[in-house]
Structure 1
Amino acid sequence: EDADEDEHTVSDRRARRKWSPTEDIFLISAWLNTSKDPVVVNEQKDIAFWKRFTVYVSSSPKLAGLQKREPSNCKQRWGKINEGVCKFVGCYEAVTKQKSSGQSENDVLKMVHEMFFNDNKVKFTLEHAWLELRHDQK
């Protein structure tokens, strides 16, 4: 019986659909557009906000043909993006403070990726998200 339970868990994990960079970028755009409306954010409960957010994401013609995401999926993915990008920003700030005059932006990014890996023991795979968020004040 335990073996059947383990098998079921593994198949559930396989069924989970990965987020594409296009979906991530649209998710970020939706977050920026829905979270910057102070009236809406202040008056909405968490569940209502994520439902509204999911409707915004689902309405994109860029994502037509893809399976719709549930509000909980969007909230969870945004949390992962936000956490990873915040850690990357911390590394970026640390490296840029130590930057020498001869270093290019590519040199800096290489060092940031190395620092991120050393600090987190995983590669940073959300550069597309960081590029979308890097000039946004949060």
Structure 2
Amino acid sequence: MSMRRWHQAVDALNLKDKAKKWIDGLDFSVAVPSAYWVERTEDMPPELDTIPIFSEMIHILDFVARNQLSDTVLMEAMPKLFGPRQDVTVVDPLIWDVVERGQIAVPTEQLRSLFTGIFDQKMLLPVNCSDTHWCALM
């Protein structure tokens, strides 16, 4: 196994441990709006162990304990957040680079073709700022 794969494996195992601790620390008695209410399931921590550490599924744990979301996880979350809305189109953030010191590399030809024919839709453009947080343009 290469050092890179070894580090990926260690990161994935640490993320699984962090997820288990986060789940154990959740207070399910806190009042929340019904749209966010979930029941505790005892099989959740053991189910985390079934996620292969080198699979794309491991990225779903980015949601745990407020980790920085990867591009992959962000694109999984956006359709769930905006899925019912036919007037919103989410643009894959991989079409441009990370914003560094206020600068962004935008492929103008790709953007031009992206907006061609769009008249009555909102375009959600996620932008990763300095690799520390996500912003969005709409």
Larger helix fraction of residues: 1
Q: TM-score, normalised by structure 2?
A: 0.23
Q: TM-score, normalised by structure 1?
A: 0.23
Higher relative contact order (CA 8 A, sep 6+): 1
